[in-house]
Amino acid sequence: MKRGTVRGILYALVHFSLEIACFYFIFNRFGTSQFWVLFALLYDCLAFVPQGIFGVLQDRFPRLDLGSCGAVMVITALILPFDIIGFVFICIGNALVHISGAHYTLCDVDGRLAPSGIFVGGGSFGVIIGQLLSRTELVIVPLVLMTVSVIIICLIRRSVSVSGRADGFDIADKNMPIWIFILLMFTAVAVRAYIGYAIPIAWKSSALDSVILFFVMGIGKMLGGVFSDIIGAKRTAIFSLILSLPFMLFGNSNMLISVIGVGLFSMTMAITLGALVSRLPESPGACFGITTIGLFIGTAPAFFILPKTLLAHQVTVTLLTVTVIIIFIFSLKGDRKNDK
């Protein structure tokens, strides 16, 4: 198995467990609140935005064990009877574990995107399972999973000593001014995040439908990293987005057609991250933080503004997807034969 892949798989399990725990907590404690939208928005803000700060901290001190600290905070939140304090612990703990995962799946992996793609994809499976589990009082399940996650993180730390640099990535156009490049990648992440909410999915009407949707998202994120290493990041990004469009636009009433589009669309997740670390190899944590802040900026408007008709959904998805394709065309480096 190639360098970093085992770390990617292990951190995918950690990410899976983390999202189960976090979404169990949020839905179990606040799911019936009249202020649900506010709590959901605050969760996204407090879990995503601080990752920029924690990312810089992890870059500055590579041996700092943010992952274990974050996992323990999540465990504490699940046990605490105080909802608001637990809410803050869950959000910050989530952010810390994410940065740790980025650190161990971007550094010393020979420029391969598969490890980070696998890590990121693992969370999608946990999101929906956590939501469904929140309807019960089986808090023991996320507690056990997070305890196992602490053990996994500690074992990774004991067995692997990473440098703190994400050297080897070479998928970005390095002639573009760095701040313009960062802005384009940030825009691509934010726009893609909003598109995720704008895809017409009238077929999703049951818990099973939701499980299938989130599982396909996770598989798509994982395969995006894998295919980028095989055929190149630029080809993967552009072809997956172009191919996804007709499936997303015309799958409103057909689950099979729609999930094919969603899976293809999700494949670009790891590519924007890989592009950023191609330009900033000394700052993998900060790069990951840039993408998570972009996720928040993209998802926040979806709480208040979404297309109202099928045609409006289709036009919005088309225009925004084309925007992301154009960004990738001009900001990603042309692909060569890949021997990673």
pLDDT tens figures, 45-57: 999 999 999 999 9
Residues 294-316 have a mean pLDDT of: 89
Lowest-confidence segment of 92-101, 116-125, 257-266, 300-309 by average pLDDT: 300-309
pTM of model > 0.85: yes
| pLDDT band (50, 70, 90) for residue 336 | low
pLDDT (0 to 100) of residue 73: 97
pLDDT (0 to 100) of residue 339: 47
- The two tokens of residue 130 are 């956590």
Q: What percent of the chain has pLDDT over 90?
A: 71
**Whether 101 contacts 152, CB under 8 Å:** no
**Whether 130 contacts 22, CB under 8 Å:** yes
pLDDT (0 to 100) of residue 1: 62
Give the C-alpha separation, 337 to 339, whole Å. 7
Does residue 315 register a pLDDT over 60?
A: yes
pLDDT (0 to 100) of residue 23: 95
Does residue 97 register a pLDDT over 50?
A: yes
Instruction: For the chain, give the mean pLDDT.
Output: 91
> For the structural domain made of 5-159, what CATH number should be given?
1.20.1250
Enumerate the CATH 1.20.1250.20 domain ranges in the chain, comma separated: 178-331
Summarize pLDDT for 220-234 with one digit per residue, the tens.
999 999 999 999 999
Q: Which fold has domain 178-331?
A: Growth Hormone; Chain: A; (1.20.1250)
Residues 272-280 have a mean pLDDT of: 95
pLDDT (0 to 100) of residue 216: 92
In terms of Cβ atoms closer than 10 Å to its own Cβ (0-12, 13-18, 19+), residue 241 is buried
Residues 57-81 have a mean pLDDT of: 94
Nearest to 226 by CA among 193, 182, 269, 174: 269
pLDDT (0 to 100) of residue 331: 93
Write down the H helix ranges in the chain.
Answer: 5-30, 36-48, 51-60, 66-79, 83-106, 114-133, 140-159, 178-198, 207-231, 233-249, 255-265, 269-279, 284-299, 310-331
| pLDDT band (50, 70, 90) for residue 335 | low
- How big is the CA angle at 1 (ends 58 and 13), to the nearest 5 degrees? 50
Does residue 138 register a pLDDT over 90?
A: yes
Does residue 340 register a pLDDT over 70?
A: no
Summarize pLDDT for 140-157 with one digit per residue, the tens.
999 999 999 999 999 998
Summarize pLDDT for 163-175 with one digit per residue, the tens.
788 889 999 999 9
Give the C-alpha separation, 280 to 117, whole Å. 18
